[in-house]
Amino acid sequence: MTLTLTPGEATLGQLEEIWREGRAAVLDDAARPAIDAAADLVRAAAEGDEAVYGVNTGFGKLASVRIKPGDTARLQRNLILSHCCGVGEVLDVPATRLMMVLKLLSAGRGASGITWQTLSVIEKMLAKGVTPVVPSQGSVGASGDLAPLAHMAAAMIGEGEAEFEGVRLPAADALAKAGIEPAVLAPKEGLGLINGTQFSTACSLAGYFSAIRNLEASVVSSCLSTDAIMGSTAPLEAGIHVFRGHRGQIDVAAAMRAVMHGSEIRESHRSGDTRVQDPYCIRCQPQVAGAALDLLRFAGRTLEIEANAVSDNPLVLVDEGKIVSGGNFHAEPVAFAADQIAIAIAEIGAIAQRRVALMVDPSLSFDLPPFLTPEPGLNSGLMIAEVTTAALMSENKHLANPCSTDSTPTSANQEDHVSMAAHGARRLKRMNDNLNVIIGVELLCAAQGVEFRAPLRTSPALENAITLIRRDIASLAEDRFMAGDLARAARIVSDGRLQSEIGVADLLAGGAQ
């Protein structure tokens, strides 16, 4: 199904559908008058005598060079080709399509001067599955994501490469096979297409969507771990969290209470438990995951605003009859959001890894067998799976160092402070992939630990979680080749089956009692 988007009003839910499900998107027809009005103003400026940046002048440090009226179309084409300087790994198809949709939304506000005809080329490419090949390195996050967006724009005019029906081929051939006429750029259109934050924002949104899913899975894994070690649930009492007052903490604690409701393991040790307090990785999960949730929610709101923003330059102010240079291309809000998401990902993984260590360590795991194997010594059990989580946790800590505090002057010092938003956004996929594994291993350890508590049973919700895990991964009786188990556990987390089975998203949204 194709989504019809209203510029300025696209929601995180719509953008996640586009990213996860490969939905095509078109602009609401109501956006056309504003788009046409801006394009008309640009056309008039291109034919006039007054110098207007990017319309009849060069770019960046070359802004003082005037371009003849007959050369304005060539100017835009040259701009696209000269800026196709991306290198490195190719951006994945879902994120590339999301980037294209974000460009539609931005230009659809009617302040970029890009024509309806050119924007329709993006719509057709989305509908037919023609995806530009976009190298992921080369942007510093101002003056916009120039190199990545240039590769997108190049495919639109039949230059560079594109993927079509699973095959990478010259963009002109891909467009022809799909029955799409290449765009012919009008004045300012090349600049409008490559100037903006859409690459950084698309990658940050993908990181945000995956981080939320990982956090939801960590709610389930932490509950399962708590039952595995026969931990106390007193720290989940609502009054504790209300006194603190942070919304995320309150929501995580409520969700955990709901997920653990009805656990025989929990009930078995409510009275007579000699342990006064559990380690922080059990006791403080609401505080840590709740703080991460608050951070992610804030970042998500920032990215939703940016997804609907006009972030190119110059902007066409139709009501004032002006084309004005500004700095909306500077991706500092996106860089900050990406850094916040990275910190949240790192901390969700850090506390989950400590729960893994808690369960496998015979000196800490409260009568569970060493390394969760029924015959320790002959078998190593989950010993090295825990080491893997430690390695990934440490890697994520390094990756979480802020990118937004870095800057380097570019373009002959015209662009003397940049955001590094693209750096901050690109690392989020790697970090989320690492976190998938950490939480997946926690689920394996916790499921194994709960099974050692038989005949006591965990909660109905957590029993459903264990059943789902065991469909793909058998209990560990004897040592076996483990890499496949870890990969399957990570997929259970990344594809959202576990979270969906228990309805964690609804619980975190306030459905928990």
Buried-state track 107-128, b at ≥16 Cβ within 10 A, e below 16: bbbbbbbbbbebbbbbbbbbeb
208 is catalytic: no
Q: How many CB atoms lie within 10 A of CB 284?
A: 16
Q: Spell out the alpha helix ranges (H) of 25-115.
A: 32-47, 72-82, 93-107
Q: State how far the Cα of 283 lies from the Cα of 442, in Å rounded to an integer.
A: 16
Element spanning 21, H or E: helix 12-21
The secondary element (H helix, E strand) that includes residue 251 is helix 247-260
Backbone dihedral region for residue 367 (phi beyond 0: left; psi -120 to 50: alpha; all else: beta)? left
Q: Which two tokens stand for residue 34?
A: 């504003």
Buried b (16+ CB within 10 A) or exposed e, 132-143: bbbbbebbbbbb
Going by the DSSP 8-state scheme, the letter that residue 272 receives in this structure is: S
Q: Report how far Cα 482 is from the mean position of its chain's Cα atoms.
A: 29
DSSP summary character for residue 276: S
Q: Exposed (0-12), middle (13-18) or buried (19+): which is 180, by Cβ within 10 Å?
A: buried
Residue 503 burial by Cβ neighbours in a 10 Å radius (0-12, 13-18, 19+) = middle
* Phi, psi dihedral angles at 114 (to 5 degrees): -80, 135
Residue 105 tokens, joined: 């939304």
Eight-class DSSP state of 322: E
Distance CA 259, CA 241 (A): 17
Q: Which of 97, 158, 92 is nearest to 126 (CA)?
A: 97
Catalytic residue among 38, 45, 53, 426: 53
- Taking the C-alpha atoms of residue 442 and residue 225, their distance in angstroms, rounded to an integer, is 7
Q: Quote the crossing angle between the two packed helices 383-399 and 421-451, to the nearest 10°.
A: 160
Q: Which helix (H) or strand (E) holds 26?
A: strand 25-27
Pairing label, strands 3-5, 87-90 = unpaired
What residues are labeled active site? 53
